[in-house]
Amino acid sequence: MTDFWRGKRVFLTGNTGFKGSWLSLWLEQLGAEVTGFALPPPTDPSLFVLAGLDKSMAWIEGDVRDPAAVLAAVKKAQPEIVLHLAAQPLVRESYLDPIGTYATNVMGTVHLLDAVRHTPSVRAVVNVTTDKCYENQEWPWGYRENEPMGGYDPYSNSKGCSELVTSAFRRSYSLPLASARAGNVIGGGDFAKDRLIPDILRALEAGEKVKIRSPHAIRPWQHVLEPLSGYLTLAQQLYSDAPAFSEAWNFGPRDSDAKPVEWIVQRLNSLVEGSQGYEIDTNPQPHEAHYLKLDISKASSRLHWTPRWDLDQALQAIVEWSSRRAQGEPVRQICLDQVKRYASS
Ligand SMILES: NC(=O)c1ccc[n+]([C@@H]2O[C@H](COP(=O)([O-])OP(=O)(O)OC[C@H]3O[C@@H](n4cnc5c(N)ncnc54)[C@H](O)[C@@H]3O)[C@@H](O)[C@H]2O)c1
């Protein structure tokens, strides 16, 4: 992977977010020339600022809902590779703001792909969607890439729509275009609202019990570096043979790492000192799927991509990240150390 990325011009949307910040650091380490495009960081604190990316990386503050801004940025960057991560990514926020969620996640994708269509330098595009794009059947098996799109809530459905948009642009304009569906991503530096790991860490810091919803809901948990390595592998393959790889890909964890929410809370609490335990939030909650797993047979057989860290290693990496940060180590260095360790594992 290392040599391939050196000097490649990459256009990365969502670079100010949790996954985008990790990916920016990894690409910087690989020697790529990255131009980011995003709104300001969605949280405060943010990994983007803590890791100093606000000062070190080239990026354009812009809105994917604005087609002219997207086109101008892509034209200026003249990228060879486009990685699309910008999104409104939260299920609960999507119930509060369905219009904004669809505008960003669906029309944002349309605007970006239309800009790509007018930019011949582009040789590979990866649109990042989610495991939630599938029509959930509440069954215990993992979803495969050829199963129907759906989505109960506005977020999940907007990502199903983004997948359909991807498929239409690929077929209509013969673009070198793939989509990537990851699981529930965890890692140091996530400060989002209403996400399990940040909620647990915030409760720990405050010396309080964490409130959890849906304790028995099963999700495919994975460290953030897992799907990112999948996106990089996929982009590289697309770049060298677009017709063979322009399709949808799942990048989930191994089946044994699809665990209930309650298991994660208990395990993480057992790894840190001072946990006050947890309680179940009994308030009425918006609908969320019970079972959700991804089948990764296709990525493993055709991209030779497989998960490298299991769930326990992912949780330990989070604990390490948090305690090194608490001891005052530079966040950028903590991330780069973890990237290096992941890449060599
Ligand atoms: N975190 C997860 O568990 C998870 C799981 C599966 C898929 N995903 C997908 O991965 C991607 C990144 O997720 P994340 O967790 O890093 O989210 P995040 O909220 O941390 O980051 C989102 C990024 O998108 C940008 N953004 C939002 N609206 C924008 C707009 N209108 N115009 C331009 N930029 C905009 C933000 O500024 C930020 O850079 C998203 O597409 C998300 O749906 C995330």
The per-residue pLDDT for range 293-339, each reduced to its tens digit, is: 999 999 999 999 999 999 999 999 999 999 999 999 999 999 999 99
Domain residue extents for the chain = 2-343
Residues with CB under 6 A from ligand 1: 14-20, 38-39, 42, 63-65, 85-89, 104, 108, 128, 130, 182, 184-185, 192
Average pLDDT over residues 213-228: 94
Phi and psi, residue 24, nearest 5°:
-60, -45
Average pLDDT over residues 85-107: 97
- Res 10 pLDDT > 80: yes
The pLDDT score that the predictor gives to residue 89 is: 97
Average pLDDT across the chain, whole number: 96
Q: What percent of the chain has pLDDT over 90?
A: 90
> Could you give the CA distance from residue 316 to residue 6 in angstroms, rounded to a whole number?
31
Counted residue by residue, the chain has a size of 345
- 90 CA from centroid of ligand 1 (Å): 8
CB of 315 within 8 A of CB of 271? yes
- 276 CA from centroid of ligand 1 (Å): 30
3-state SS, residue 223: strand
Mutation pick for ligand 1 pocket among 24, 46, 185 (CB with most ligand atoms within 8 Å): 185
- 129 CA from centroid of ligand 1 (Å): 10
Taking only the tens place, the pLDDT of each residue in 237-294 is 999 999 999 999 999 999 999 999 999 999 999 998 888 889 998 888 888 778 889 9
> Could you give the CA distance from residue 87 to residue 90 in angstroms, rounded to a whole number?
9
Banded model confidence at residue 170, pLDDT cuts 50, 70, 90: very high
Higher-scoring residue by pLDDT: 125, 205:
125
> Whose C-alpha lies nearest to ligand 1, atom 18?
17
Structure tokens at 246: 């322009």
pTM: 0.97
Residue 84 pairs in a beta bridge with 13, 127
- Res 205 pLDDT > 90: no
Average pLDDT over residues 196-200: 93
- Res 1 pLDDT > 80: no
Residue 15 Cα: closest atom of ligand 1 = 39
Average pLDDT over residues 194-209: 91
CATH superfamily of 2-343: NAD(P)-binding Rossmann-like Domain (3.40.50.720)
Scored b (16 or more CB within 10 A) or e, 223-262 reads bbbbbbbbbbbbbbbbbeebeebbbbbbbbbeeebbbebe
Taking only the tens place, the pLDDT of each residue in 37-62 is 999 999 999 999 999 999 999 999 99
